[in-house]
A and B are shown apart, each in its own frame.
Chain A
Amino acid sequence: MSAAAESRKPGRLALMIDLERCTGCKSCEAACKQEHRLGPGEYRNKVVWASGLEEAGLAFLTLTCQHCERPACLRACPVNPKAIEKDPVTGVVSVVESRCTGCGECVMACPYSAMGYDPREHHAVKCDLCTDRRAQGQTTACASVCPTSAIRFGARDELLGEAAREGRAPLDLDHFLLGPATIYLERLPAQGEPGAATVPSRAAGSSRPAFMDAAASQAVVVESKPAFPYGLPRADATADRVVPGGCNICFNCCTANFHFKGDDLVRITGNEDDPLLQGRVCPKSQLTLQLYHNEHRLRHPLKRAGARGENRFERISWDQALDEIAEKLKRVREAYGPEALAMFIGTRTGTLDNLGYTRLFAQLWGTPNKEGTDPFCASSKSVAYELTQGRIGSGNSYTPGDIGSARLFVYFGDNQAETRPVYFGMVNDWRLRSGAKMVVVDPRLSATAAKADRWLAIRPGTDMALGLALCQHILARNLHDRKFCGDWTLGFQEWRDFILARGYTPEWAEPVTGIAAAEIRRLAEEIAAADGCVIFGSRGINQHTNGTQTNRVLMFLAAITGNWGRRGGAYFNMTAGTPIAPNAPEHRRPKINRQKVRRSPAGWTDAMLHGKPYPLRALIACNNPLAQWPGQAAVRAAFESLDLMVHIELFANETSAYADYVLPAATGIEKGEIGRSNDDRRIVWIDKMIAPPGEAKADGWIWIELGKRFGFDDVLQERYKDTQVFWDEVCIGSELLRGCTQKRLHSVPWRWVRHPVASEDAPEIETLYLEGTTAPGVPAGHRFPTPSGKLEFWTTELEGKFRTIGLSALPEFYSEREQLVDLPYLELEHSDADAGVISPFCRPDTGTSRARIVAGSGDAPGARLRAQGYDTELLTGRPSAAHFHSWTHYFWQSQEMWPDLFCQIHPDKAARLGIADGERVRVETAHGAIEAVAWLHAGIRPSAVFVPIGWGERQPFHPWRSVNFLTDKTQRDPVSDQTNLKVLLCRVARAD
């Protein structure tokens, strides 16, 4: 029978991989390694990335066995009978491990390089389309988790039929007449038109980034010992019970099933019972298996035994640690007052800790200087939402009837495909089914942009100008939704007059943004015309000194086009926030006599170093500020000067090395908590399922025990160590959360409830703020939770607030101080050492600086830096889906997927600098320097480089200096205290 005839045999099984849907997240790789317990270096599938070198492009290829009709691997096997078999009915080609002598001839023979090899046990390994799962009627592991539904499994004929019905064509990959069964659906043609940067279906001259496969970097991982349960026989890792829960790492809040054999966690999968996510799950959630079985976890309280930064510690007991910390805190309070204690509560520590336990501790202690990561990530959007809508977050949901029904998706500075891959997978799936369009505005062609119809490579820090021009064009052409503007906005007229009077036209915006005026007009008209447009914004918008104003402009853009309070229309800037805000009884809260130094912890370093505006002498950090805070050199100096520094963490990192005491923390299923603040307003409950390693303790336990030393146990009660009790009794007091009880959360097998829910039997609301409804928790008739019940663009009260800090509520354009062209920028009147003015945008009383907008000129800081040779825009941001800040850098498989710190650079620029792909480069700003490995990528502005966050100097696999050695703590938005992390001038050279 010919190969072609064989390939049409009924019953032949196959995977169908849709290249249009795949975003390269590598969730399938994580699932495969879990399912088959494959260790480092051992693969049955692998996702390959390729960057365009001649034109902008990013392609992903999930490489797996082709289950050929004429398998070259099988024929090459010298063993008789063969150690590789082909099932005559299903066509599945599999390895008989007991007969494999490990000669590797099959590995050599496969022209698709889809035959894996176990370097520890010395035998071939390959995809067998999950024989064991199929026997139980399940789909393959890779298909079960794929966040984007890019992988489908089934009978080959049926899959081909599905593709044909969807109008999709399979690629012809049968170079070698082997009759491959795996189907790859080709990418859709790009929506290219002259004048717009387009996304090609295949990048010309594409190349795999050298750093991903570099032998030396991979060797570090391959030589590491894979932790339980990797490498175990199937029987030893087969679960006997499954507990539903969720992932506690990122904002996607994937629901997950935790599989146990006895008391051992053996596997983490998506929760297929979840009606929303349906088992889709990103790689991080699965890789947390390596969080719970990890040799690098902190296991005992430690006390510093050497100099700060020396990283020498002695093991002590919990009692000794807490007694000594309490004693030192008392001394700090006596000498400097309670405000001298600063608390930095990162998101690693969990939402209950961040918004619950530590909030109560700070109130009982009497310090206003408690903050999380918001001022580094999202405080600008939070303030903008509060000012405009009266409450943080979009009221829309990731459902087919809501976001799924939009006709246009516009992403501003939001790389959703890599930061919330499951949500992006849903959006991309909906738009492919409905024919909706997608436009991405980003200085680099990210995985999100690679899927879009159009990519607009904007100059970083100028999204506000683009937003203003889009609004101007819509208003000038009367394309706005007049009824919505008239009925549901306040200050529209003043704002409209301002926009038109200032001349923020597309022609004005063209040289500012680098986007052609015609494209701006086109986008404006598309947004205005779409029957539902969702405008996404994220860190690319937030992390700027103009973050609040840019967010407001984009909110106004959504509002004037009627894309607010409707299904399929929204301004969506990531998380909705979780409305937990417990308070200690008034009489138990000491009066706070001094204002919070600054909202941003980056603004605390002068108080630590110089005692100005008043001394901060003790810090309890629950995250990794020595990688995360901008301006690392100053942060290190500040931490060295402290009287007391306590670090509560999972892994020893840079911050631990500077701490006086390191306290080992628990996380996720070791303590019981909710997931992170979520895009979709879902509260995902995670039960406590296992004990923490060694003597590690839940953060709540630590705060309660420390609180006992100060007599706080009447509020921070012993029984609140049980997070379920703490949740029901302390966290859900507000009308928005009252119905989200443990009983309700446990009543559904997917363990989530979408807030707000005022009572246990109140229905979840898919879309908030619809016309004719009243927003939850506000007076009747108030459609939006603002004082006026309308979206507030401009009011005299708002104007007054902005005037307090020297700005106007009418958003006048300005950009960043460090730009390659002269643009207006912000000059702060006060340094962090000054008390400044009390911010009208923050609670409690918080110091901030007055500011003024300065026109760009030859004397401006940017021009001076350019004269010194700083000729490149530095962009920072999240790396791909397998990483999240520093904690995933302790997982061997995250490091196998994304090993080294990289620097994305345009091939033209690299050629000018003599830099080859994979070479070490030095990136230097006026604030510091780091090294990274070059990744040549034509999908980035030729004038820019991109370096991701998350790497640190003390990480076990691939240590690199944090990108925050390059950033500057003084470039902050006076409204929200958000730091600019998205554009700084730098110079790049080959490292010596």
Chain B
Amino acid sequence: MQRQDFSDTKLLRLMAAAALAIAAWFVARQWLPEPWRMPGSPALYLAGVAGAALLLVPAAFALAKRGGSSRDPVGWFNAHIVCSSLGAVLIAVHSAGYLRRAPALLLLAILALAALGVWARVRGSRRMAATFASKAPAFAVPDPATRERLKAVISAKRRLLADLDPQAQEGTFSVTLAHWLRAPRLAAAYHRLAREEAAMLGTRRAAGLQQGWWRPVHMALAWIFVAGVAVHVVTVTFFAGYVADGGPINWWHLAAW
């Protein structure tokens, strides 16, 4: 299958377009009728729903690429870029400029995610490339103590694997979503050992703060965002009165506590 890369140029253009759209909306909204300035108005409510739906695509990407059934993980990756950019615009529209309320934190998270993603793709990838051959000390004389400790971890992994996935070879195995769903306790234990081994190799540490941690931070922010969206949806659906704070409730809701 031909790999469809999302180039830096495309990414930067998309980001610029999204930023322009958001800026244009914030400038234009003062001249728009009242309903276009209320996050809970039907139009902006729908924008919020659509934005949230689009922003769930990156979460779906994370599951799809780990789920074992995706034929085109790169396509999913590209979709995560496009959908999150469009979603961010719609969420900005939905916010209607109410940036001093708690939900605005979600907007902040989107911006941080986007900035981190763009940095990783445009600048971080060069650092990634420069990693090649940066660990020549690995070719020095081995440390027997490290080897002994590693040996113990690998043995433990092999024992665990016999229960977790008897057909698998430890040398090429890593825990998948299916393992997490089927045997979460064993999967967690194996995952812990794998992390222990990785820590002994010290490769993430060696890569430096930015390169080593941008992705864990990106993923953590993404899940915080998803959680934030969930909280927001529950709040506006079940605690509409609290959200409206005495004002009219124009959006679809189940309870107006």
Chain A residues within 8 Å of B, Cβ to Cβ: 1, 3, 6, 41-43, 46, 48, 50, 61, 63, 68-72, 74-81, 83, 86, 97-105, 107-123, 171-177, 179, 184, 208, 213, 215, 218-219, 222
Q: Which residues of A contact B133 (CB under 8 A)?
A: 43, 46, 48, 63, 113-114
Q: Which residues of B contact A76 (CB under 8 A)?
A: 174, 198
Q: Which residues of A contact B257 (CB under 8 A)?
A: none
Q: Which residues of B contact A48 (CB under 8 A)?
A: 133, 136
Q: Which residues of A contact B147 (CB under 8 A)?
A: 174-177
In whole Å, how far is B181's beta carbon from the nearest beta carbon of chain A?
Answer: 13
Q: Can you list the 3 inter-chain pairs with the closest CB atoms, starting with the nearest?
A: A70-B171, A113-B135, A46-B133
Over the window 162-175 of chain B, the binary record of Cβ atoms lying under 8 Å from chain A Cβ atoms (1 yes, 0 no) is 00000001111110
The residue of chain A having its C-beta at the shortest distance from the C-beta of B8 within the complex is A120
* Residue contact A109 to B172, C-beta cutoff 8 Å: no
* Residue contact A116 to B129, C-beta cutoff 8 Å: yes
Knowing A111-B138, A117-B132, A175-B143, say if A70 contacts B6 (CB, 8 Å). Answer: no
The answer for the CA separation of A208 and B124 in the assembled complex, in Å, is: 23
The answer for the CA separation of A86 and B174 in the assembled complex, in Å, is: 14
Selected contact of B3 from candidates A3, A121, A179, CB within 8 Å: A121
22 contacts between A and B (CB under 8 A): A68-B171, A70-B171, A70-B172, A74-B172, A76-B174, A98-B72, A102-B125, A104-B124, A104-B128, A107-B131, A108-B211, A110-B135, A113-B134, A115-B132, A119-B128, A121-B3, A123-B3, A171-B139, A172-B142, A176-B138, A176-B201, A184-B139
Residue picked from B170, B177, B203, most chain A C-beta under 10 Å: B203
Q: Which residues of A contact B243 (CB under 8 A)?
A: none
Q: Which residues of B contact A104 (CB under 8 A)?
A: 124-125, 128, 211, 215
Q: Which residues of A contact B174 (CB under 8 A)?
A: 75-77
The residue of chain A having its C-beta at the shortest distance from the C-beta of B176 within the complex is A80
- Please give 12 more A-B residue pairs, beta carbons under 8 A apart, in addition to A61-B139, A99-B74, A103-B215: A6-B171, A78-B66, A100-B3, A104-B128, A111-B202, A112-B138, A172-B142, A175-B146, A176-B200, A177-B150, A177-B151, A222-B129
* Residue contact A41 to B65, C-beta cutoff 8 Å: no
The answer for the CA separation of A105 and B120 in the assembled complex, in Å, is: 12
Label chain B's interface by main secondary structure.
helix
The residue of chain B having its C-beta at the shortest distance from the C-beta of A223 within the complex is B126
Selected contact of A101 from candidates B67, B77, B194, B200, CB within 8 Å: B77
* B212, CB-defined interface residue at 8 Å: yes
Cβ < 8 Å to A, chain B residues 71-96: 72-74, 76-77
* B32, CB-defined interface residue at 8 Å: no
* B24, CB-defined interface residue at 8 Å: no
* Residue contact B138 to A175, C-beta cutoff 8 Å: yes
In whole Å, how far is A659's beta carbon from the nearest beta carbon of chain B?
Answer: 38
* B232, CB-defined interface residue at 8 Å: no
* Residue contact A98 to B215, C-beta cutoff 8 Å: no
The answer for the CA separation of A745 and B203 in the assembled complex, in Å, is: 55
* Residue contact B1 to A112, C-beta cutoff 8 Å: no
The answer for the CA separation of A41 and B123 in the assembled complex, in Å, is: 13
Q: Which residues of B contact A208 (CB under 8 A)?
A: 136
The answer for the CA separation of A103 and B73 in the assembled complex, in Å, is: 11
The answer for the CA separation of A6 and B154 in the assembled complex, in Å, is: 15
Selected contact of B130 from candidates A50, A112, A121, A218, CB within 8 Å: A218
In whole Å, how far is B75's beta carbon from the nearest beta carbon of chain A?
Answer: 10
The residue of chain B having its C-beta at the shortest distance from the C-beta of A3 within the complex is B171
Chain B residues within 8 Å of A, Cβ to Cβ: 1-3, 5-8, 65-68, 72-74, 76-77, 121, 124-126, 128-136, 138-139, 141-143, 146-147, 150-151, 154, 169-174, 176-177, 194, 198, 200-204, 207, 211-212, 215
Q: Which residues of A contact B129 (CB under 8 A)?
A: 41-43, 116-119, 222
Q: Which residues of A contact B126 (CB under 8 A)?
A: 41, 119, 219, 222
The residue of chain B having its C-beta at the shortest distance from the C-beta of A104 within the complex is B128
* Residue contact B176 to A117, C-beta cutoff 8 Å: no
Q: Which residues of B contact A100 (CB under 8 A)?
A: 3, 73-74
Residue picked from B1, B76, B130, most chain A C-beta under 10 Å: B130
In whole Å, how far is A183's beta carbon from the nearest beta carbon of chain B?
Answer: 12
The answer for the CA separation of A118 and B126 in the assembled complex, in Å, is: 8
In whole Å, how far is A158's beta carbon from the nearest beta carbon of chain B?
Answer: 23
* Residue contact B130 to A72, C-beta cutoff 8 Å: no
In whole Å, how far is A583's beta carbon from the nearest beta carbon of chain B?
Answer: 55
* Residue contact B136 to A175, C-beta cutoff 8 Å: no
Q: Which residues of A contact B73 (CB under 8 A)?
A: 79, 83, 99-101
* Residue contact B65 to A101, C-beta cutoff 8 Å: yes
Q: Which residues of B contact A102 (CB under 8 A)?
A: 77, 121, 125
In whole Å, how far is A92's beta carbon from the nearest beta carbon of chain B?
Answer: 13
Q: Which residues of A contact B124 (CB under 8 A)?
A: 104
* Residue contact B67 to A122, C-beta cutoff 8 Å: no
In whole Å, how far is B216's beta carbon from the nearest beta carbon of chain A?
Answer: 10
In whole Å, how far is B221's beta carbon from the nearest beta carbon of chain A?
Answer: 15
Selected contact of B203 from candidates A81, A97, A111, CB within 8 Å: A111
Q: Which residues of A contact B135 (CB under 8 A)?
A: 110-113
In whole Å, how far is B196's beta carbon from the nearest beta carbon of chain A?
Answer: 13
Knowing A78-B66, A104-B128, A184-B139, say if A70 contacts B5 (CB, 8 Å). Answer: no
The residue of chain B having its C-beta at the shortest distance from the C-beta of A41 within the complex is B129
Q: Which residues of B contact A222 (CB under 8 A)?
A: 126, 129
* Residue contact A122 to B5, C-beta cutoff 8 Å: yes
The answer for the CA separation of A107 and B200 in the assembled complex, in Å, is: 16
Q: Which residues of B contact A119 (CB under 8 A)?
A: 125-126, 128-129
Q: Which residues of B contact A177 (CB under 8 A)?
A: 147, 150-151, 154
* Residue contact A79 to B170, C-beta cutoff 8 Å: no
Q: Which residues of B contact A42 (CB under 8 A)?
A: 129
The residue of chain B having its C-beta at the shortest distance from the C-beta of A112 within the complex is B138
* Residue contact A122 to B171, C-beta cutoff 8 Å: no
Q: Which residues of B contact A78 (CB under 8 A)?
A: 65-66
Q: Which residues of A contact B2 (CB under 8 A)?
A: 98
* Residue contact B132 to A97, C-beta cutoff 8 Å: no
Q: Which residues of B contact A176 (CB under 8 A)?
A: 138, 146-147, 150, 200-201
Q: Which residues of A contact B125 (CB under 8 A)?
A: 102, 104, 117, 119, 122
Q: Which residues of B contact A112 (CB under 8 A)?
A: 135, 138-139
Knowing A75-B174, A98-B3, A175-B147, say if A63 contacts B211 (CB, 8 Å). Answer: no
The residue of chain B having its C-beta at the shortest distance from the C-beta of A86 within the complex is B172
* Residue contact A79 to B139, C-beta cutoff 8 Å: no
In whole Å, how far is B2's beta carbon from the nearest beta carbon of chain A?
Answer: 7
Q: Which residues of A contact B142 (CB under 8 A)?
A: 172-175
The answer for the CA separation of A614 and B243 in the assembled complex, in Å, is: 98
Q: Which residues of B contact A118 (CB under 8 A)?
A: 129
The answer for the CA separation of A100 and B151 in the assembled complex, in Å, is: 30
The answer for the CA separation of A872 and B172 in the assembled complex, in Å, is: 57
* Residue contact B66 to A113, C-beta cutoff 8 Å: no
Knowing A111-B138, A119-B128, say if A179 contacts B177 (CB, 8 Å). Answer: no
Q: Which residues of B contact A97 (CB under 8 A)?
A: 3
The answer for the CA separation of A123 and B198 in the assembled complex, in Å, is: 22
The residue of chain B having its C-beta at the shortest distance from the C-beta of A118 within the complex is B129
The answer for the CA separation of A469 and B5 in the assembled complex, in Å, is: 68
In whole Å, how far is A488's beta carbon from the nearest beta carbon of chain B?
Answer: 52
The answer for the CA separation of A111 and B68 in the assembled complex, in Å, is: 27
* Residue contact A110 to B203, C-beta cutoff 8 Å: yes
* Residue contact A80 to B177, C-beta cutoff 8 Å: yes
Q: Which residues of B contact A46 (CB under 8 A)?
A: 132-133
* Residue contact A108 to B139, C-beta cutoff 8 Å: no
Q: Which residues of A contact B194 (CB under 8 A)?
A: 75
The answer for the CA separation of A81 and B177 in the assembled complex, in Å, is: 11
Q: Which residues of A contact B67 (CB under 8 A)?
A: 80
* Residue contact B136 to A50, C-beta cutoff 8 Å: yes
Knowing A43-B129, A114-B132, say if A81 contacts B68 (CB, 8 Å). Answer: yes
Q: Which residues of A contact B201 (CB under 8 A)?
A: 72, 109, 111, 176
Residue picked from B67, B131, B176, most chain A C-beta under 10 Å: B131
The answer for the CA separation of A71 and B173 in the assembled complex, in Å, is: 10
* Residue contact B3 to A72, C-beta cutoff 8 Å: no
* Residue contact A75 to B173, C-beta cutoff 8 Å: yes
Knowing A80-B176, A119-B125, say if A215 contacts B130 (CB, 8 Å). Answer: yes
The answer for the CA separation of A113 and B128 in the assembled complex, in Å, is: 10
